[in-house]
Every structure is written in C-alpha cells, then in structure tokens.
Chain A
Amino acid sequence: MSGLQIVVCGSLVPDPLQTLEPATTPTGPGLKNELMLPAVLDPWAGHALYEAANLAKSHPGTKVYLVSVGPKAKLQQLMMNIAQKVPFELVAVDASASGFTDPFEVASALAGAIEKIPGLDRSRLLLFGGCSSASRDAGVTLQLVGEKLGITDQFLGVDELQLQGDGSFKVYERIEGGQYQVSTCQSAPAVLGWATGKLPIPPNNPQVGMQNMRAIMPALQKAAAVKVGAEGVTYDKVEVPNQRRETQIKKDLSVDEIARELVEWIRN
C-alpha cells in the first residue's frame, strides 16, 4: 500500500513529572496552575505519531497530519519540541485540553477538524491516536471520532502495523497475558488506537522542525476556536490516584513464597 493519509489525533497533557493537584476552577474541575504547567504531547498519542511518521518514511507519498485540540498558545509551545521529531502537518483546534472535558465533545471537535482537511481521501485514511491518555483516561475519544467519520474498522492497544503489498494490513493488538491478537484488515480506512508501539522517541532535530514550522505557524494562526467542555456533567470527587510504595527487602525468598505474596496482594 502506498500513499496513505494518516491522521493522528493527539494533544497536550501536563508534564507527568509536575505536581498534578486537582482544583476547582471557575469552569469546573481542573488542575492547580494547569495553564502554567509545562506540557508534553500525550505519550500515547506520541507513540501513534512516531509510528505514523515511520510508516510515511517507508511508504512514499504518505502524508501525516496531527490534529490537536488544545489552547493555541500551549500548542505552539508544544510544537517547538514535537515538530522537531518527525515531519507532519498540524491541524490545530483552539480549545481546552483539560482532562475534564467530555470525550464526546472532544471527539466532535476532532472529527469536525478532520473533515475539513482539504483533499483528504478517506479510502486511504488511517486514523491514529492513543488507545489511552495521560490526562484522564476515558479511553473512548478515538473510537468516537472513528464513529463520527463512519470508520468502523477499529483496533485498540495496537503495538504493530504491517502494511501488505495488496493494500491490506496486519494489526497486532495487545491482549491479556502479554499476548497479541493479530488481525488482517483488507484496506483503509481504519482506526488504530496505539499502545506504546515499538519505536523509540525520535531525537529532536531543529532542521526537521524548521521544515514543519513553515506550515505549523500558519495552522496555529488560523486555528478555529471551539468550545469543548463538560457542560451538564457534575464531578462529585476528583483525586489523583494514590501512589503506594511499600517496599520490603527480603532475602532468600522462595518462588512459591513470592507467588503467594503476589496473589495475596492482588486479592487485597
């Protein structure tokens, strides 16, 4: 298969190393100082982007788009890093990137933006994204985007995509126990929600970035403002998952004893 059009959905999340403290803001739940926290590309979406770029490199004529919903100024800052990693064209939607937005609204904004990409050929479209998100893991946004675009072949937890010569492709989806479910899809369009993939994060290269930025800056300037939120949704409680560290050092423990402890820990 050659000349694919890969649309990657992905936006920014606060840098996970930052202190992420839930707070009530005038617009609902949020994170304390969220706008001021440094942001990174959602790691799951990042894997999808790097896989897309890798496919594009080995399949001439393939074009990669990154469709991002987020505050324009934060997206611009993010692009200074991400745009250096791989070649892509940005489609920006100026809206909240909060983890407390409703996935349906975000999906609508993404689908709307994708539909407006000039010359997008759906018969060659692979819709990529993360199977999950580092901001708040509803885990349904990508599927909703696919549905809105009428793409029903959907694969989640993907770690590998092998393009075949006849236009079909083989997909490796994660299942329980470290196993993969391998499917063959006859042709695009399809939705692929990536797990980690198999590629390392590409190094930054300002030369790649300079190329990308020629189109990215205009894209940011003309990014349409869209309202995405969670109107009508009430959050009773918001909290960061508890971190548990109960490290014990025990020497000469038998395998059975270790297994027993593990089972006990899981049960509790």
Chain B
Amino acid sequence: MSTDTSTKAPTLQTLPGDDVRQIMWRFAERYDLQMVVQSARGVARGPVARLVAAGGRNSHEWTEGKNDLLSSFDESGITALFMDPEDGGYIEGPKNLALALTAFELAWVDAGSATSSLASNLALAPIHERGTPEQRHYYMSRCVPPKPGENRKTWRGSFALTEPLPYVGVDTSVLSGRVRIADWKEGSEPTIQVEKRGRFITGMGFANFVTAAVESDDPRIKGSCMVILEETDEGIYDRGVPTKKLVHQLSSTRDPIFNMKVPAHRIIGGYTIKDGVIVPNFSHGEVIEAVFRRTRTTVGLMTSAKLLSAVEPVIRYQRSRFRGGANATPGTPRFDQGLQQKEDALHRLIDIWATGEASASLGFATARLFDDFDTIEKRKDAYCTEHGLKGRAQLRAFQKVQAEAMELIRLESATRGTTPDSKTMGRIEELRSNTLVQYMVTDSLAQVLCPATKLWNTGYGATTMREAVSLMGGYGITEDCPGFLGHKWMDAQLEATYEGPEAVQRRQLSVTMTNELFLEQFKLWTTEMRKTASQYPGTGACTLATAMDTWSWTLDHLQNAKDANGKALYHGQRHGVAFAMADALCWLLASRQQILDTLELREKGAQNPVLAENLDGYVNFFTDLCHVQAARAAGEVGRVCAELVYGYNRHPSWNDPEATEECYKADVFDALEEAVAGIGSCARGQCDVIECDGSHSEKAGPCVKAFAIEAFAKRRMKLDGCLTGARLAKDRAAQAVAQVMIPEALDYPV
C-alpha cells in the first residue's frame, strides 16, 4: 500500500470529471442539464459505441443497427429535449446549452450519432424559430416520443437546403428548389406545387417530413420561402439514393427528390396575400439565418468533444506502448512510462488537450450566450411587432439606440466588481430595460461568437485531431483504435463543412467583427485580461491581452490603410485580409474563454467538497494549459497581423531612388573613419550602405523602415516578449500528464 501524497503536490491527480466540467461550463446549478449529460453519455458509450465497434459505420445504408439508435435517443429523452414542455418536452426555456451538451457527449464517441439525433431538430428548427404557433405545436408535439399509453409513432424530420446539384452545401443565396401555384380557387386556400432535389440531406432515410427551402417559380408567389412536406402528401416523396459520404456514417444522408402538392399553409411562418400575390412572411434566408446561428455552435462542439476524448486513449497508449516487448520489464521506466519518457510525446499531447479545452470553452460560452439571446430576441420581436417595426424602420430604430448600447457596454464594464453610485446604477438599469439596447449588445456578440466557434473549433480542431491520430502511430488509423480516433479525425472534416463551410463563417466574421459594439467589448475584454494577469500571472492572460491589443490595432490600421497599389486593404471582397483577421480573432476568443473558465473553476471549485481536496491541482494544471494556449494564440495572431501589416507594402528596391535615399552612403563613413575608427564596418553590419561604386549588399532591397507602423513594431516586439514563461508552463503541464492517474480501461465500448 502506497502513501497518498496527492496533497503534497498540487497538480493534476485524475482526469477532470463531471464536477469540474459542470463548474467550468457553468451548469453546476442545473441538475436538468446534468441529467441530460448522463443520459446522452449512457447512449453514447453504450449502444453507439457498440455499433461503431461492430463495424456499423462501414455502410452507406441506413441499417437496422443505426435505426435502433433512434429508439435509444427516444428512450433516453434525447429526442424530446428540443421540445418545449407544452409540446411534450421537459426543459423550460432556451435549450442551446442542453443541445450543445448532448451533442458533445454523443460526439465524444461518434459524431454521426450526434448528427443523427440533431437532424430532426434541424428540421424542426425553422418551424420552431419562424413557424406559426399552429405549425410549431403540430410538428413539435408529433416529434415527441409517445408517452405510455399513447399509440403513435414518433415523427422525424429532415432539413433540405441544397445548392444546385451535384454540389453539397448551404449557400443560402443559391437555391435549386422551386415553388409555384398548383391550384387557387377563389375564396379557398391556394395549393402549391413544390419541386426540390436534395443532396446530402441528413435524416432522409427515415424522415416523415421535410422542411425544404424553395424559390418562387411563379409571379403569384413572391421571393423564396421554406415549406413543410409530409411523406403522405400528394406527389413524389422519393428518399433517393444514399449519399456516399465517407464520414458521420451513423447518420442517414440521402439525395431525395420531391415533387408534391401541399396547401399553402405549409409555408413556414405563414403568408399574406397582397394584390393577388402570396407573400411569405419569411424568406428562406430569414428562416435559415435564425436556425443556423444557433445550430452551428453545436456542430463546433462536436469537434471539441473529439479532441478532449482523445486525451485518455493517447495517454494509455503512450504508457503501455512498450509493454509486452522484450526490453520492457515491469518496474522499468520503459514499462511504466512508455512513450511518456519522451518530451515530444507529452508536449504534443498538451497541445491537443489545450486546443480541446479552448474550443470547448468557446463553444459552451457561445451556447450559453444563445440561451440568453433567445429570450432577448423574443422580447425584441414582441417589441417590434407591438411598435410596427419591420425592415428599414427596424434598422432605423436600432441605429437610434446605438449610442445607448455603447454607453451600456462602457458603464457595465466600468462598474464590474464595484458598487456603482445610485445615479450610475439607475442609468444602467434604465439602459438594460431597453429591449432594443439589450438586443443590440447581445446580438453583436452572438454574431461573432457563433461563426467563431464553428470556424475555429472545427477547422483548427480537424488539424489538431490529425495530431491526436498521429500520436497513436499506426494504431491511430485502424478501425479498432481505442477512442475511434481515426474515425473522429475524418468526421471532423465534415463538421468543418456542415451548416456552412469555413469560408461562410469567415465571411460572416469579417463583417460582424467590425461592429463597433463588438469592438468596444473586445477592447474592454483586453483590459480585463490585463487585470486578470495581474492577479493570476500564470494564466497567460497578459500574453493574450497583448495579442488582443495587437489584433485591435491591426484591424484599425487595415481599415484605414491602402496597399502598395493604392487599394483599400479591408473590405468584404479582400478575403486575404478580412478572412485572415477573422481566423486570428478566433484564436483570441477561444483562449480568452478558456482563461475565464479556469478562473471560474478556481473561484467556485472550493465550494464543492469533492473537489476541494485537489482543487489546486486542477487549477494549476488548467492554468498551465491556458498559458500554453494563450502563447499559441499570440503566436498565431502575431504572425497573421505581421503578414498583413507588412505584406501589402511593396518591398523597397535598390532601383527605387526614394528607398535608396534612406540608405547610408559609404563616402560618409570613409570621411568619419579617421575620427571614429571602424565606423564603416560597424555600420555595414547594422544598416544599408550604398558603396561609392553604387554596389550594395546582396539582398532584395534596402530593409523596410516602418516609421508609419512603428506602433505595430513595438506591439509585435512586446508580444514576443510576452511569450516568456509559456514553455515552462508547457513543461509543467507535460509533467502532470506523465503522472496523472487514468482509468484501467476506456469506458467505451463496453
């Protein structure tokens, strides 16, 4: 029997469990969500894991085994999770975090199962967000599994938005479906004819209804809309052939064909008739925007789950790598530590873990934000309806309160952690009670955090997942690799594409991140990070603050600067600039949220008696991970910003008189040589010199003199200096991983 020395060394003793995660991801007070997590976990590590292990992914067809998962989702409450209590659900209010946690748990084992469980929600989401009350209740209640005594089957849906065939995607500006009037007798409801061919439509193998995006092909219908098609409607409801996708094989995807007649009340959100024309209340773009801004976060978290799920299998593999070999006898470091004797193996694992933490932190923060946002948006919609604010009138109303929204942001930041005087508090309350102000502030964040989660979590996540696979050697790309890491790596690529590929997210970010309400909050976050750093220097918050400041300066510079050809640097079509800045921002947002979650654990963990014993160990380890990630983010931001700030200037040339004018002339040094011996050779080593015969050192041209962007150069230099200590943090984290206690075996498949 050994002596427990865990209290002597405050470092990571065991892998973080539910107590830790509930605090970090802020659902320690929500037992409904904690149960949802356990429920989803039971399905993921039970039936889902067994199906994957049995080779269930090796078919494009919707097999019996895959279909059985739907029953597991029904029995475990996953299916009903999306519904409101009045329709048979069991969680009141917004469910973004609940759905995010469920997807995370399922994707921990297999993201295809997560997609499968979410597909019906995606079909329902247009109805939930923009449907009429009647549509909402009709479809939502039918998609809830029957209660004991009820004799009906659970309806399931698919969401069909497809660019022209044969391509796959969700560019809302390009539609392939058409709608026209089939029959419209005077005094009765019109019947519409819907034609749509879908591609890569999830859930299509079993969907009882489809929410399809279509464009008008008839002057009597205006614009576009989304329509609900049921399998029993008149016409063709052909599920099509299975899509030969290579990933997410536990979800059903097919290429369906529809040609159906349905009553016009199937238009989602209803319609009005104006001058003999059907005007849908919502275009397909409006519906989809409301849907995707929520569901994309969930997809982002699927990749986070993959990264964090890789930690335990990789540690186990590393430790047991040499066991069974001739030179690895029990008791030797080779036997006990295996590959973990090597720094590289540990450091790379730390990179994966840190990325996973940051992406999960960002994703869950976004999901929580959308829970708040849902409520605010509903209030905003009610307000606008009440005051007749639509279209441009609504935009004007928002513009009017822009200054007040900015004031609220500043006041809230200035008073955070203090007790403001009654006048200030009164003003804050007044601003908070203004629905439009609240909406604008929250919306400015939601419009950034959602695409950032989707873009960074999946895009960089997929790259990092490859690292995880590579750490398992050849084992990583076998079907029986513990943790199914090879599958997960491939699946991550689809997550980077689902519901809008990376370019779509970058495009959105490049616009929304320049919203001055967001930028003001970002500036205040920078100050907050600096304050955090003064209290907790090891978090990397100072490094991050410097990187945030560099990013802000660079954005401002790019918005005002021109390139060597006199063209504006920052605008929507200049993807080389705007998209790169969007990428850089994501790193910062993820790292910031990771630090905030670690601070939350530090603060709230002590209240949990289970954690109290080793809280310092967890906090120290997570703090080191934060530092590692902050340094990585700072490095990325520094690289991107430097490329953009310098990269669009033309390099000075030896042939350019203006550039050579700045160079020293050799005859000047020659004249000074008598007074200051050696000045000539010294100067030639330090700066550009034109020799008397016009020759010069062999390089592209005189070095850049960046007087105009000196502020950037200073920031960049500071940023590099701010990396101090980051590698020490990585070493500490690596040591912790080398000794952390892990379970005897992975808990799936069992």
- A interface with B by C-beta (< 8 Å): 15, 17-19, 21-25, 29-30, 32-33, 35-38, 71-74, 76-77, 80-81, 83-84, 203-207, 209-210, 213, 217, 237-239
B169 in contact (CB, < 8 A): no
B687 in contact (CB, < 8 A): no
Considering the chains assembled together, what is the distance between the CA atoms of A203 and B611 in angstroms? 28
Q: List 25 A-B contacts (CB under 8 A).
A: A17-B744, A18-B744, A19-B741, A19-B743, A21-B741, A23-B1, A23-B3, A29-B1, A33-B4, A38-B18, A71-B609, A72-B609, A73-B608, A73-B609, A74-B610, A80-B34, A80-B38, A81-B35, A203-B42, A203-B43, A204-B43, A205-B76, A206-B35, A207-B90, A210-B32
User: Among A17, A23, A204, which residue has its beta carbon within 8 angstroms of that of B35?
Assistant: A204
Q: Are A77 and B610 in contact (CB under 8 A)?
A: yes
Q: Are B77 and A204 in contact (CB under 8 A)?
A: yes
B36 in contact (CB, < 8 A): yes
Counting chain B residues whose Cβ lies within 8 A of the other chain, the interface size class is: 35 or more
Counting chain A CB atoms within 10 Å of each CB, which of B2, B80, B610 scores highest? B610
- Residues of chain B contacted by A24 (CB below 8 angstroms): 1-4
Considering the chains assembled together, what is the distance between the CA atoms of A217 and B35 in angstroms? 13
Known: A204-B76, A207-B90. A15 touches B743 (CB 8 A): yes
Q: Are B80 and A32 in contact (CB under 8 A)?
A: no
Contact with A along B736-748 (1 / 0, CB 8 A): 0000011111110
B735 in contact (CB, < 8 A): no
Q: A76-B31, A77-B19 are in contact. List 17 more A-B contacts (CB 8 A).
A: A17-B746, A19-B744, A36-B13, A36-B611, A36-B614, A37-B14, A37-B17, A73-B609, A80-B18, A80-B35, A84-B77, A204-B35, A204-B38, A205-B76, A206-B35, A206-B90, A210-B35
Known: A36-B17, A80-B34. A205 touches B77 (CB 8 A): yes
- Residues of chain B contacted by A74 (CB below 8 angstroms): 610
Q: Are A22 and B31 in contact (CB under 8 A)?
A: no
- Residues of chain B contacted by A209 (CB below 8 angstroms): 32, 35, 39
Known: A32-B6, A33-B14, A36-B613. A17 touches B77 (CB 8 A): no
Considering the chains assembled together, what is the distance between the CA atoms of A76 and B4 in angstroms? 26
How far in angstroms is the closest Cβ of chain A from B322?
19
- Residues of chain B contacted by A38 (CB below 8 angstroms): 17-18
B179 in contact (CB, < 8 A): no
Q: Which residue of A lies closest to B80 (CB)?
A: A207
Known: A73-B610, A80-B31, A207-B90. A33 touches B1 (CB 8 A): no
Considering the chains assembled together, what is the distance between the CA atoms of A140 and B4 in angstroms? 29
How far in angstroms is the closest Cβ of chain B from A53?
14
Q: Which residue of B lies closest to A18 (CB)?
A: B743
Considering the chains assembled together, what is the distance between the CA atoms of A92 and B407 in angstroms? 50
Known: A83-B35, A213-B35. A22 touches B1 (CB 8 A): yes
B689 in contact (CB, < 8 A): no
How far in angstroms is the closest Cβ of chain B from A99?
13
B516 in contact (CB, < 8 A): no
- Residues of chain B contacted by A238 (CB below 8 angstroms): 1
How far in angstroms is the closest Cβ of chain B from A77?
6
How far in angstroms is the closest Cβ of chain B from A234?
13
How far in angstroms is the closest Cβ of chain B from A60?
14
Considering the chains assembled together, what is the distance between the CA atoms of A75 and B137 in angstroms? 38
Considering the chains assembled together, what is the distance between the CA atoms of A128 and B609 in angstroms? 30
Considering the chains assembled together, what is the distance between the CA atoms of A210 and B744 in angstroms? 33
Counting chain A CB atoms within 10 Å of each CB, which of B4, B18, B742 scores highest? B4
Q: Which residue of B lies closest to A239 (CB)?
A: B1
- Residues of chain B contacted by A71 (CB below 8 angstroms): 609-610
Question: Total number of A-B contacts with CB less than 8 angstroms?
Answer: 120
Considering the chains assembled together, what is the distance between the CA atoms of A83 and B37 in angstroms? 13
- Residues of chain B contacted by A25 (CB below 8 angstroms): 4
Considering the chains assembled together, what is the distance between the CA atoms of A125 and B339 in angstroms? 57
Considering the chains assembled together, what is the distance between the CA atoms of A206 and B1 in angstroms? 41
Considering the chains assembled together, what is the distance between the CA atoms of A35 and B13 in angstroms? 11
Q: Are B31 and A213 in contact (CB under 8 A)?
A: yes
User: Among A19, A83, A206, A210, which residue has its beta carbon within 8 angstroms of that of B742?
Assistant: A19
B620 in contact (CB, < 8 A): no
- Residues of chain A contacted by B81 (CB below 8 angstroms): 206
B550 in contact (CB, < 8 A): no
- Residues of chain A contacted by B743 (CB below 8 angstroms): 15, 17-19
Q: Are A17 and B31 in contact (CB under 8 A)?
A: no
Q: Which residue of A lies closest to B13 (CB)?
A: A33
- Residues of chain B contacted by A207 (CB below 8 angstroms): 77, 80, 90
Interface residues of B in 1-53 (CB under 8 A from A): 1-4, 6, 13-14, 17-19, 31-32, 34-39, 42-43
- Residues of chain A contacted by B36 (CB below 8 angstroms): 206
Q: Which residue of B lies closest to A16 (CB)?
A: B744
How far in angstroms is the closest Cβ of chain B from A168?
30
Interface residues of B in 308-354 (CB under 8 A from A): none
Interface residues of B in 429-469 (CB under 8 A from A): none
- Residues of chain A contacted by B614 (CB below 8 angstroms): 33, 35-36
Q: Which residue of A lies closest to B3 (CB)?
A: A24
Q: Are B4 and A77 in contact (CB under 8 A)?
A: no
B113 in contact (CB, < 8 A): no
User: Among A15, A32, A36, which residue has its beta carbon within 8 angstroms of that of B610?
Assistant: A36
- Residues of chain B contacted by A18 (CB below 8 angstroms): 743-744
- Residues of chain B contacted by A210 (CB below 8 angstroms): 32, 35, 90
- Residues of chain B contacted by A239 (CB below 8 angstroms): 1
Q: Which residue of A lies closest to B6 (CB)?
A: A33
B493 in contact (CB, < 8 A): no
User: Among B18, B741, B750, which residue has its beta carbon within 8 angstroms of that of A32?
Assistant: B741
